[in-house]
Amino acid sequence: MSSHDSVPSRPYHPRHAGAAIALAGALALAHASGAHAAKPAPPLDPSAPMEEVATSTTATWERVITLPDGRLIALAPAWTGVRQGGLVILAPGQQPVPYPDATWNDPTTPATQRLVAPADIQLQADGTLWVLDSGIAADGTRAQPKVVRIDAASGQVKGTWAIDAAALRPDSLLSTMRVGNGHAYIGDEGVPALIVADLDGQGQRRLMEHNPALTAGRPILGPDGRVMQNQSGHTAIINVSQMAISPDEKWLYFEPLSGPIYKLGTDVLIDPKVTPIELEDSPTLWYKSPPYGGIAVGADGTLYLNDVSTSSIFRLTPRRIYQRIVTDPRLHWPAGSYVTPDGMLYVPAAQLDRTPALDGGKMEVSWPVHVYRINVAALPEAKF
């Protein structure tokens, strides 16, 4: 199945990039020294087969999920600087259309009733689709960020939660989110922190600001070991930008784009009795990872980790066995993927290193952008 996005172009909006990272790097490395080592397993040989399921000639799809009926929902972030569709849905054999509908993607709709800049998506087992809207449009204008709940079966918006101004900073950029236990856990990439929003309306809290686990401590190495550069030609810094939540909703996994991955219990985040000092020391280094463009979690708790520096996908099992399952040059910057309940992994090859925000201001995407499918349920058990 192949499809092409023909949404009109919008102006480029640069992704947040910081300056000095030496202190943050030292803190992150010091914190990482006590990590428990994962057990490496030999890479799969041959690599797991990949099947192309969708393409786009106009949008850099960074995150995807697939619905039980086979339709694909794809997110194209505003900051990549190419013609965008925001959030689109693709039925097999058909052209992509705005999701949940045209009004929610129309720039003339009031900001409170549209998706200004979708940043992350999550599909839960009950068919609820959660969308994080950063509120930062392609031209740099800002609206209040929000969480949107959609009934994926009907495409109907069921609720929105505005993020309180008190939980934000002037340079905040909300980039990733997972929902569980009645709370939304939101990563602020612009000023590294976690925002925890009680979806029952019991308040929002900003936690762990500038914690080393959320703060980029090293450059982002892309394909061929190239250091990513922002639009100004300086080293690109992207703080917390990837998240996953365990199937039982007890554990949150997160990382800056440069790595490494940390793990934190959600009960700690939602307990108001836990002090800020206790929270500072709560994240556990889960794996000293390379730069990952996406983290997905399967029904059994296996993490699927997309290595942008080697065009590879690894799995990290609940027994902490770490194994490369595929390396393929077609996986140019594997980004935010999704695992279906029956074990099909969908992953976009987003080419983000070829967009202005990470390529020194240059646009060098080699069209089309592809989405691939891998049957991870059929893979042999990981053994070391």
Looking at residue 31, what is its pLDDT? 36
Tokens coding 90: 């693709």
Cα 99 to Cα 86: distance, rounded to the nearest angstrom: 8
Look-up: residue for tokens 């027994």? 319
- State pLDDT tens for residues 119-135: 999 999 999 999 999 99
Q: How confident is the model at residue 27 (pLDDT cuts 50, 70, 90)?
A: very low
Q: Is the pLDDT of residue 323 over 50?
A: yes
Q: Is the pLDDT of residue 8 over 50?
A: no
Q: How many C-beta neighbours within 10 Å does residue 172 have?
A: 25
Secondary structure of 85-151 as H, E, C letters: CCEEEECCCCCCEECCCCHHHCCCCCHHHCCCCEEEEEECCCCEEEEEECCECCCCCECCCEEEEEE
Average of per-residue pLDDT values in the chain: 89
What is the CA 44 to chain-centroid distance, rounded? 25
Averaged pLDDT for residues 69-86: 85
Cα 116 to Cα 114: distance, rounded to the nearest angstrom: 6
- State pLDDT tens for residues 180-214: 999 999 999 999 999 999 999 889 999 999 999 99
Q: How confident is the model at residue 36 (pLDDT cuts 50, 70, 90)?
A: low
Looking at residue 16, what is its pLDDT? 40
Q: How confident is the model at residue 83 (pLDDT cuts 50, 70, 90)?
A: low
Averaged pLDDT for residues 22-51: 64
Q: How confident is the model at residue 80 (pLDDT cuts 50, 70, 90)?
A: confident
- State pLDDT tens for residues 108-117: 999 999 999 9
Question: What does the angle CA 331 – CA 332 – CA 335 come to, to the nearest 5 degrees?
Answer: 80
- State pLDDT tens for residues 229-280: 999 999 999 999 999 999 999 999 999 999 999 999 999 999 999 998 999 9
Q: What share of the chain is helix, strand, coil (3-state, %, to 5)?
A: 10, 35, 55
Q: Is 298 helix (H, G, I), strand (E, B) or coil?
A: coil
Decide: 219 and 267 in contact? Cβ < 8 Å.
no
Averaged pLDDT for residues 336-354: 97
Contacts 24+ apart (CB under 8 A), 246-249: 246/297, 246/301, 247/297, 247/298, 247/299, 247/300, 247/301, 249/180, 249/181
**Could you tell me which of 364, 342, 291, 338 has the C-alpha nearest to residue 123?**
338
Cα 184 to Cα 149: distance, rounded to the nearest angstrom: 11
Peptide bond before 107: cis, by omega within 30 degrees of 0? Answer: no
Number of H helices, E strands in the chain: 3, 25
Give the helix/strand (H/E) hosting 25.
helix 22-32
Averaged pLDDT for residues 319-334: 96
Peptide bond before 46: cis, by omega within 30 degrees of 0? Answer: yes
Looking at residue 288, what is its pLDDT? 86
Q: How confident is the model at residue 21 (pLDDT cuts 50, 70, 90)?
A: very low
Cα 204 to Cα 200: distance, rounded to the nearest angstrom: 10
Cα 319 to Cα 301: distance, rounded to the nearest angstrom: 10
**pTM of the prediction?**
0.90
Cα 293 to Cα 312: distance, rounded to the nearest angstrom: 10
Averaged pLDDT for residues 13-34: 35
Looking at residue 266, what is its pLDDT? 97
